[in-house]
Amino acid sequence: MTTLPTVSTDAAVMQPETWLISGARNRQPGEPLNVAPQLASNFYLPADRDYSRAKGTETSEALELLMGRLEAGRALAFSSGMAAAAAVLNRLPAGATLALPVDPYHGVKGLALEAEAQGRWNIQRIELDNTAAWISAAQTADLLWLETPENPLMTVADLPAICGANRRTGTLIAVDSTFATPMVQRPLDLGADIVMHSATKFIGGHSDLLAGLLIVRDDALFDEFTERRLLHGGTIGALEAFLATRGARTLALRMDKAQANATELAHRLDECSDVARVRFPGLPSHDTHANAAKFMVGWGAMMSFEVTGSAGRATAVCEQAQIINHATSLGGVESTMERRAAVAGQETIPPTLIRFSVGCEDVDDLWADLSQALEATRTR
């Protein structure tokens, strides 16, 4: 595996862990350390900032500075991860070709299916691990949308090969890096044009906000997404931006603990007779472990596993857990799991698959909770 690059600021070069804690703060005497929630919709004129839907607030700018520098680009904060994704996808003109994973995040899938049904876009569906097909698509598609690691099957795309390949002029590559976070992979450094994060997840880290981020290096793209955010009403609220920034301060700490937990639990589940299959990039048996080992810094804190028995048993395991929360979404300090095929639009997922977002609890407590849930449901 590789190591994370340093973060370059106007005054210094520092490690990512340091930047997350010290960056984007007030530095004037008498000012609070944190940029406070600027609860304002409009401002006295004349001024550079007149309406918060247009340019956000000082609070959202702090979040954008913090996360943009971390990815070595410019960040723009949105009201949700889907708002950020939609800003990228909806820039495609009529007749454009969009290359997607076969089974992407269901919100992205829904947008693509709607546009395809209306005859607006041509959709090219590619298995995420078919690197040759993605490289070929870069010669014909207008946008390659890569989601890696993939939700919830945990497939990892060969980003260095795909992003580094020759492509047609004008073809863009966007990467949904939500599962990895900037602590695990940096797609812009590998040649991607756009990185998307649902900051609702690991960046916020406490299951108490909705937010999305786009990070780019091209100034024209940044200006375009700023305009799209304004026109489509996707600007993040000041309180959400404050909470996302506060959560991001501990991103490195939380990811260190959650990744260590996930790695240990993946190995234990892999040896468990109640589990038919574990999908985790850190397992050598994982189909795309070799891809992950090329460029990921750690393996992330997401996994999925398929229990033996029926779909009913998988649901019962989630309901039987006492420490691990039976809940959708992911990336919080607390562990969550759900049977993903029970979610509308996810019926193609293996019926006994449980998506597991590993949190920061004690690993032996988590294992004891999983063990009792599996044991209690063996008759299902």
Residue 105 has pLDDT above 90, yes or no: yes
Residue 10 has pLDDT above 80, yes or no: no
Strands of 79-222, DSSP E: 96-101, 121-126, 143-147, 172-176, 194-198, 212-216
2 occurs within a structural domain: no
Domain count, the chain: 2
Q: Same structural domain for residues 132 and 71?
A: yes
Q: Same structural domain for residues 269 and 242?
A: no
The predicted pLDDT at position 244 comes to: 98
The predicted pLDDT at position 230 comes to: 96
Q: Are 240 and 211 in contact (CB under 8 A)?
A: yes
Q: Same structural domain for residues 259 and 169?
A: no
Task: Determine the structural domain holding residue 309 and report its residue range.
Answer: 251-376
Residue 85 has pLDDT above 90, yes or no: yes
40 occurs within a structural domain: yes
Q: Where does a domain end: 248, 283, 315?
A: 248
Q: Where does a domain end: 215, 230, 248?
A: 248
Q: Same structural domain for residues 196 and 171?
A: yes
Q: Same structural domain for residues 200 and 256?
A: no
1 occurs within a structural domain: no
DSSP string, 259-298: HHHHHHHHHHHHT-TTEEEEE-TTSTTSTTHHHHHHH-SS
The predicted pLDDT at position 347 comes to: 83
Q: Same structural domain for residues 229 and 295?
A: no
The tens digit of pLDDT for each residue in 163-220 reads 999 999 999 999 999 999 999 999 999 999 999 999 999 999 999 999 999 999 999 9
Q: Same structural domain for residues 238 and 255?
A: no
The tens digit of pLDDT for each residue in 296-354 reads 999 999 999 999 999 999 999 999 999 999 999 999 999 999 999 998 888 889 999 99
Q: Same structural domain for residues 102 and 135?
A: yes
Residue 150 has pLDDT above 70, yes or no: yes
Which percentage of the chain shows pLDDT scores above 70?
Answer: 99
Q: What is the CATH number of the domain that holds 117?
A: 3.40.640.10
Q: What is the DSSP letter of 125?
A: E
134 occurs within a structural domain: yes
Q: Same structural domain for residues 50 and 143?
A: yes
The tens digit of pLDDT for each residue in 239-292 reads 999 999 999 999 999 999 999 999 999 999 999 999 999 999 999 999 999 999
Q: Same structural domain for residues 74 and 14?
A: yes
Q: Same structural domain for residues 293 and 179?
A: no
The tens digit of pLDDT for each residue in 38-78 reads 999 999 998 889 999 999 999 999 999 999 999 999 999 99
Q: Where does a domain end: 248, 270, 291?
A: 248
pTM over 0.75: yes
The predicted pLDDT at position 8 comes to: 85
Q: Same structural domain for residues 19 and 89?
A: yes
Angle between helices 58-70 and 238-248 (to 10 degrees): 30
Residue 1 has pLDDT above 80, yes or no: no
> Which has the closest alpha carbon to 331: 355, 296, 301?
301
